[in-house]
Amino acid sequence: MSTSALRLVRFTGRLSLALAAVVALVAVFLALIVVTDGAGSGLPAWLTTLAVATLLALWRARRRTWPARLVPFLPVLVGAALTASVCIPTVPTARQRPPALPFVATQHWSLATGSRVAVYHYPPANPGTRRPVPLVYLNGGPVRGISVLDHRFLQLLARQGYDVYAYEQAGGGRSDLLPMDQYTISRSVRDLAAFVDRLDKGKVDILGFSSGGAVLTRALADSRVAARLNRAIIAEPGPMDGPTARAAGHKGRASARGLAPAMTGPRSTHVPRYAVAFGLMRLGLLTPDTGLIGQAEGDNAFTAADLGSDTASAYCARDAHRIPAEDTAQNFSFSPAASLRVQHTIKESPSIAAQLRRSRTPAMLMIAECSSQVRQWATSILAHDPAIQRTQYMPGVGHHMWNGLDDNDARAVAVITAFLQDRPAPLPNYPTRDGIPAFLRDHK
């Protein structure tokens, strides 16, 4: 072997060892982050890793001559720089609420539960057609701001004569944050009851979408909360309890997930600090109240692009190349840690089937053809709630049923208003309670 080839082999070997040392240092750092739950913004884990790596470098350099003694420290410096980026915030650590919307005033109501929530009111466009019962909207999330797309839909309902109220659940959008351990599904239900009491207009109709539908379902299972409700519309619900959340099952017809162009815009997950924090939280290796990043910092960092294919999964495959902009960058708000915390409390909750069987509040279930939700989440509610009077299977739409495409909004409005006014349903009652087995068997 020639001298140059021998040098190349030696250089490659040393480089490989150096890279392995850097990878090992990063792995130790991440392990310490997990063990300490990110305490002190990750600084204790970083200092411990740096101290151990420095001691090992000193041991390796003890018999070397100058300047070869510096070589073992190069991987330490590289690894220290990489891991230090996980400890340094790149967004404000104090809460930054979205700016005010130009088309609706934001009110802030303090509820009896201690939550302070952002409230939006769309009065009937024509006071002469005012419906006697207010309509309250519960958005999905679980802890997320109301999108501009949803605000537009609420305006359509107001044009039908409904006095529409919506609030962003605690921690979402322009609402105040809660301590992390207070984000629970039961708190969300109590907040709903407190909101209706604060509204002080008697019984209300409720439209609950996605995780908002799960909150509404659990409210129907609580007789004290259900007494405040006139009619309930459960649209594309999430799981209602632990057994439902753990149920295996299929989803609806093909969605646009994997077919739509990738979302553009900045991603917090391209920044090491937030990639590590959100990634480890999603894997369950960090708790939602981790010391690595604060709740407010995480909310400030998370962007719409971070949702990735989740947005595309809310649309049918045929709409993959015309998915509308659901929100603006200024209005978008999502709390990943608080949302994970609420989802965890649902998974850990006991069955509410027995309580739901006692429900007497007239209800309607809305299911999308291309739903990204597990079908058993909706059919479990249908099976156990005897007060569900009709089910509307919405053809040609995904999870986000009102989306501004074609006549989707008008069809959703027609279904909702027909039920609230106790008029004949515009679509067949499908699936029925007795037809659940066939519905699931046919993978509809």
430 and 365 both lie in a single domain? yes
Phi first, then psi: give them for residue 135, nearest 5 degrees. Answer: -115, 125
Residue ending a domain, among 84, 115, 144, is 84
292 and 401 both lie in a single domain? yes
CA distance 128 to 38: 58
419 and 370 both lie in a single domain? yes
Query: What angle, rounded to 10 degrees, do the helices at 185-199 and 336-347 form?
Result: 110
96-141, pLDDT tens digit by residue?
999 999 999 999 999 999 999 999 999 998 877 788 999 999 999 9
Residue 280 makes CB contacts below 8 A (sequence gap 6+) with 30, 33, 34, 286, 290, 292
Residue ending a domain, among 27, 53, 84, is 84
- Answer whether residue 152 is part of any domain: yes
Domain tally for the chain?
A: 2
249 and 396 both lie in a single domain? yes
Range of the domain at 208: 107-441
Residue 34 makes CB contacts below 8 A (sequence gap 6+) with 280, 285, 286
| CATH number reported for the structural domain that contains residue 362 in this entry | 3.40.50.1820
User: Minimal CA–CA distance to 145: which of 187, 100, 179?
Assistant: 100
SS (H, E, C) 157-168: HHHCCCCEEEEE
61 and 170 both lie in a single domain? no
235 and 296 both lie in a single domain? yes
216 and 70 both lie in a single domain? no
Using 50, 70 and 90 to split pLDDT, how confident is the model at 305? very high
317-362, pLDDT tens digit by residue?
999 999 999 999 999 999 999 999 999 999 999 999 999 999 999 9
- Answer whether residue 25 is part of any domain: yes
Query: What angle, rounded to 10 degrees, do the helices at 3-36 and 43-61 form?
Result: 150
Residue ending a domain, among 84, 117, 152, is 84
12-43, pLDDT tens digit by residue?
555 566 677 778 888 999 999 999 999 999 99
143 and 186 both lie in a single domain? yes
Using 50, 70 and 90 to split pLDDT, how confident is the model at 64? low
Pairwise pLDDT comparison (384 vs 5), residue with the higher score: 384
- Answer whether residue 73 is part of any domain: yes
- Answer whether residue 98 is part of any domain: no
